[in-house]
């Protein structure tokens, strides 16, 4: 199937690792041109080398803290408009309301909540002016299936789901589609750290973290490639009527009996 993405410029925030790197690689596999953004130059260089050597496409990198003020404008000034923006960079800590004090809560939201909102504001305006564009938001199941022990992420994700639905409900008037994807636990560095913390709290031993994943649908976590392939398909012209929707990818766990 030709997803008609060859030569498209795709900006992927948090593209140096985990889901973001898998997303960038999946676009590159379709002949699109990824631009990776994150803070660590060494990881960016590794991601770029992997993509360029595997898929034979040019891959740009930008070293930037997307939680910093005016970072959205700085990124646009450096990269200019793109065909596809994937908002993915996020690092919200686990914990209950009592665990996460206001300064930590606000710091996490600067990246995952305001980072997505600010980049969407800047790129939506440019895409609407151009009359075409795609914005995909990698959000997270916790917004649809809230739980107290990840309350800061739950609340940001719920806001981003509503944001995606509201913005995507009118962006089509100017040829732009905005959609969201809610991954459930997905194998990445960040998730391994979170799972180890959960295992320490629930089983008293962080090395037993894989026992927690065996209870998930299909007996495992989601693979980054599964989220990446869905993201790429949703942004293809073959999926041209998708806007204002957020897709849950949780193997049905949300509706499963406990």
Angle, vertex CA 234, rays to CA 141 and CA 143, nearest 5: 15
Residue 73 makes contact with ligand NAP by CB under 6 A: no
Residue in this structure with the two tokens 């930037």, named with its chain if needed? 64
Piece in contact with ligand NAP (CB under 6 A), picked from 77-85, 164-172, 186-194, 250-258: 186-194
Piece in contact with ligand NAP (CB under 6 A), picked from 122-130, 161-169, 178-186, 203-211: 178-186
Identity of the residue, 90 or 133, whose beta carbon is nearer to ligand NAP in the bound complex: 90
Residue 112 makes contact with ligand NAP by CB under 6 A: yes
Note whether 48 and 23 are within 8 A (CB). Answer: no
Note whether 32 and 7 are within 8 A (CB). Answer: yes
Note whether 63 and 38 are within 8 A (CB). Answer: yes
Piece in contact with ligand NAP (CB under 6 A), picked from 2-10, 59-67, 118-126, 158-166: 59-67
CA neighbor of 157 nearest in space, from 100, 253, 92? 92
Residue 66 makes contact with ligand NAP by CB under 6 A: yes
- Please, which of residues 197-226 interact with ligand NAP by CB under 6 A? none
Residue 43 makes contact with ligand NAP by CB under 6 A: yes
Residue 120 makes contact with ligand NAP by CB under 6 A: no
- Please, which of residues 138-177 interact with ligand NAP by CB under 6 A? 138, 140
The H-assigned helical ranges of the chain are 18-29, 41-55, 71-79, 102-112, 114-130, 151-168, 189-203, 210-213, 224-235
Identity of the residue, 52 or 128, whose beta carbon is nearer to ligand NAP in the bound complex: 52
Residue 95 makes contact with ligand NAP by CB under 6 A: no
Piece in contact with ligand NAP (CB under 6 A), picked from 14-22, 24-32, 101-109, 171-179: 14-22
Instruction: Pick the binder of ligand NAP from 25, 35, 67, 178 (CB under 6 A).
Output: 67
Residue 188 makes contact with ligand NAP by CB under 6 A: yes
Helix axis angle, 114-130 to 71-79, nearest 10° = 40
- CA-CA distance, 201 to 190, in Å (whole number)? 17
Collect all residues with Cβ–Cβ distance below 8 Å to 58 and sequence separation of at least 6: 33, 52
Residues near ligand NAP (CB under 6 A): 14, 16-20, 38-40, 43, 65-67, 88-92, 111-112, 138, 140, 183, 185-186, 188-191
């Amino acid at each position: 199937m030709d997803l008609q993405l060859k030569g498209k410029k795709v900006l992927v925030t948090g593209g140096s690792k985990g889901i973001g790197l898998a997303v960038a690689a999946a676009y590159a596999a379709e002949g699109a041109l990824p631009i990776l953004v994150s803070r660590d130059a060494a990881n960016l260089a590794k991601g770029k080398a992997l993509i360029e050597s595997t898929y034979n496409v040019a891959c740009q990198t930008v070293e930037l803290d997307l939680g910093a003020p005016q970072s959205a404008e700085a990124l646009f000034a450096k990269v200019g408009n793109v065909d596809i923006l994937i908002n993915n960079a996020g690092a919200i800590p686990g914990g209950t309301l009592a665990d996460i004090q206001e300064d930590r809560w606000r710091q996490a939201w600067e990246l995952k909540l305001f980072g997505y909102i600010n980049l969407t504001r800047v790129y939506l305006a440019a895409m609407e002016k151009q009359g075409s564009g795609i914005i995909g938001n990698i959000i997270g199941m916790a917004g649809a299936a809230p739980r107290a022990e990840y309350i800061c992420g739950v609340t940001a994700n719920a806001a981003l789901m509503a944001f995606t639905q509201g913005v995507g409900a009118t962006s089509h008037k100017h040829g732009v589609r905005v959609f969201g994807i809610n991954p459930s636990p997905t194998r990445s560095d960040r998730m391994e750290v979170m799972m180890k913390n959960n295992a320490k709290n629930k089983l008293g031993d962080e090395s037993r973290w894989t026992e927690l994943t065996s209870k998930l649908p299909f007996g495992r976590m989601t693979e980054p490639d599964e989220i990446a392939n869905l993201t790429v398909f949703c942004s293809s012209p073959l999926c041209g009527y998708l806007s204002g929707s957020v897709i849950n990818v949780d193997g049905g766990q949300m509706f499963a009996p406990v």
